[in-house]
Structure formats: structure tokens, C-alpha cells
Amino acid sequence: MRVFLTGANGFIGTRLVTELIAAGHQVLGLTRSEPGAQRLLAAGAEIHRGTIDDSAALQAGANSCDGIIHTAFDHDFSRYVENCTMDSRAILTIGSVLRGTKRPFVVTSTTLFGEETPGVLADEDVFNLDHPNPRAVSERVVAGLVADGINVSLVRLSQIHDTHRQGLVTFLVDLARRTGRVAYLGSGTNRWSAAALGDTARLYRLALENPTAGARYHATAEEGVTLRSIAETIGERLDLPVVSLSESEARDHFGWLYGFIAKDMIASSEKTCKRLGWCPTGRSLLESLKSMAEGK
């Protein structure tokens, strides 16, 4: 299959390029820079110039391929609402050229939207339309495409990790380096789900190769890792003190991250494993943190 991949030079996309090529697929990677183009060529992929807000480039890339995987997302949280809107437009743009075809389209989301109510175990068969996170707009767009007969499915992400990056935990590591301490809120018993990068790339491939319109899959190997254990592991790796903060202290310390720090973000992948035969085998989040690369 020839696969159009957005975010091909991103954290997940880079690993997905090698995963797809190793499985016998061809990859057409979206890139906006010459260094990005050279990385794709070195990995054995073809290059397609453009950005996720370039409708013509997205349509041309999608039209020239047998399947599409959309992993691109701007993680500048100071512009989060705007970036969520841009993501939904990109999904609509790609979907517009797939009407009347059965070509598979795999879109990226987050396990948050599988929470029937805040803090409960996220389920693949649940889409909480009232979830306050602005990125819910992308799942609403996907639901509309499915209703229009588009063969689109979702991979929902937990905290995706290797020894270089760990989802939102990466921001905790950066904050710890800047402030000289590793903090958690209260007892630190709230939990975040997680999955290794390699397992996640394999999940995207399986979703593409076994398309089911409207399906939702959870990239979750661990249902929940406590924030205290995450903080303690970061503290040990960086040789920094670990402290518990009150709510008011935590709001000041974490800034925009507080909205996530205060949440349970737990998820199940039981249905994903059964439906796709996906069996995560990668290292745990804490193992990745213990082996975290220097300077990362």
C-alpha cells in the first residue's frame, strides 16, 4: 500500500515511517523543510512538500495514495484551541477527497474522549461529546466523515514514550530541570495511561491494514501510572528533590500543565487488543524514564 503520512518527521511519525516500510508499504511523507525531506529520503520514504494548513497539498497527497495516516499536530499549548481547529480542518480536507472510495484513513486523537465521565477508565466504544477539551472537535469531524461513508478510524493516544520523549511527561521533565525540583499534586495518586512508541507505531499500522469505519483504538499498554511514581522516577534520574504541592502551589508551579496534572487520565485497550490482535510488548513508562537520554 502507498501511504500518505502527515507528521512524518514528528515523534510518532518518524517511527511510523520505519514501521510501515518494514511491513512492505511505501510512504509518502508530508514535510515543510529541506532537513525533513532529507530525513525522509534517508529512511526510504518519498517526500511531499506542504503543511497541515495547506489544503491543496493535503488533497494532492491523499489523492496519490492508497491509504492515509494523520499524525501531525501542533503541540504549542499557548495556541491550543487554534491548533485543534487547524487539525479538524486538515481532517476534513483529507476526508473530502475520499468520498466514494474505500481507502482507509487513520486519524489521531486522545484517550480523554473515551471517558464517559471525567476520571473514569476510557473505553474505545465511548465518545464523550461534552468533553471540555477543545480537541474533541476532531472526533466530531471524524464522526461526520463516517456518516458520509468515509472509511476513517481513530487511534487515541495515551502518554507515548521512549527514552527521548514521554508525552506530557516530557513537559514535567523540562519543568523539573528549570526549577530544580520534581513536583506532584497532593498525594500524587492520580494516574496517566501510557504506551511505548514502538507499540504505538504498530497499532497505527494494524489500524490501516485492517480498516473498520468508525473504529476507535487505544494506544494504551498501562492503564494508569501514578503521578507520584512518575515524579519519583524523574527525581531519581535527574538527582533532584521530589516534593508534594498543595493545589494553590501546584497551580503556580505547573501553569498550563495544571489542568492535566490534576486529572486522572486512565484508559483501557482491552477492545483494541481483541479487535486488532495488538499486544504491546515495549518497556513501561517508568523504565523509559529510568533510561532517559542525557539532556532530554
User: Is a pLDDT exceeding 90 seen at residue 138?
Assistant: yes
Determine contact, residues 146/92, Cβ cutoff 8 Å: no
User: Is a pLDDT exceeding 90 seen at residue 296?
Assistant: no
* Per-residue confidence band for 295, with pLDDT thresholds at 50, 70 and 90: low
Determine contact, residues 61/48, Cβ cutoff 8 Å: yes
Can you tell me the mean pLDDT for 71-100? 94
- For 201-227, how does the pLDDT look when each residue is reduced to its tens digit (9 = 90+)? 999 999 999 999 999 999 999 999 999
CA 90 to chain centre: 16
Domains of the chain and any CATH numbers: 2-159+194-220 (3.40.50.720), 162-193+223-290 (3.90.25.10)
Q: What is the pLDDT of residue 65?
A: 98
The length of the chain is 296
- For 113-124, how does the pLDDT look when each residue is reduced to its tens digit (9 = 90+)? 999 988 899 999
Which residues, at least 6 apart from 204, have a Cβ–Cβ distance to it below 8 Å? 12, 16, 19, 69, 71, 106, 155
DSSP string, the chain: -EEEEETTTSHHHHHHHHHHHHTT-EEEEEESSHHHHHHHHHHT-EEEE--TT-HHHHHHHHHTSSEEEE------GGGHHHHHHHHHHHHHHHHHT-TT----EEEEEEGGGG-SSTTSPB-TT---TT--STTHHHHHHHHHHHHTT--EEEEEE-EEE-SS-BTBHHHHHHHHHHHTSEEEETT---EEEEEEHHHHHHHHHHHHHS--TT-EEEE-SEEEEEHHHHHHHHHHHHT--EEEE-HHHHHHHHGGGHHHHTS-B-B--HHHHHHH-----S--HHHHHHTPPTT-
- For 159-196, how does the pLDDT look when each residue is reduced to its tens digit (9 = 90+)? 999 999 999 999 999 999 999 999 999 999 999 999 99
- For 17-49, how does the pLDDT look when each residue is reduced to its tens digit (9 = 90+)? 999 999 999 999 999 999 999 999 999 999 999
Mean pLDDT is lowest, of 11-25, 30-44, 73-87, 95-109, for 73-87
Q: What is the pLDDT of residue 250?
A: 96
Determine contact, residues 158/193, Cβ cutoff 8 Å: yes
How much of the chain, in percent, has pLDDT values that exceed 90? 93
Determine contact, residues 85/53, Cβ cutoff 8 Å: no
- For 149-160, how does the pLDDT look when each residue is reduced to its tens digit (9 = 90+)? 999 999 999 999
Mean pLDDT (the chain, rounded):
96
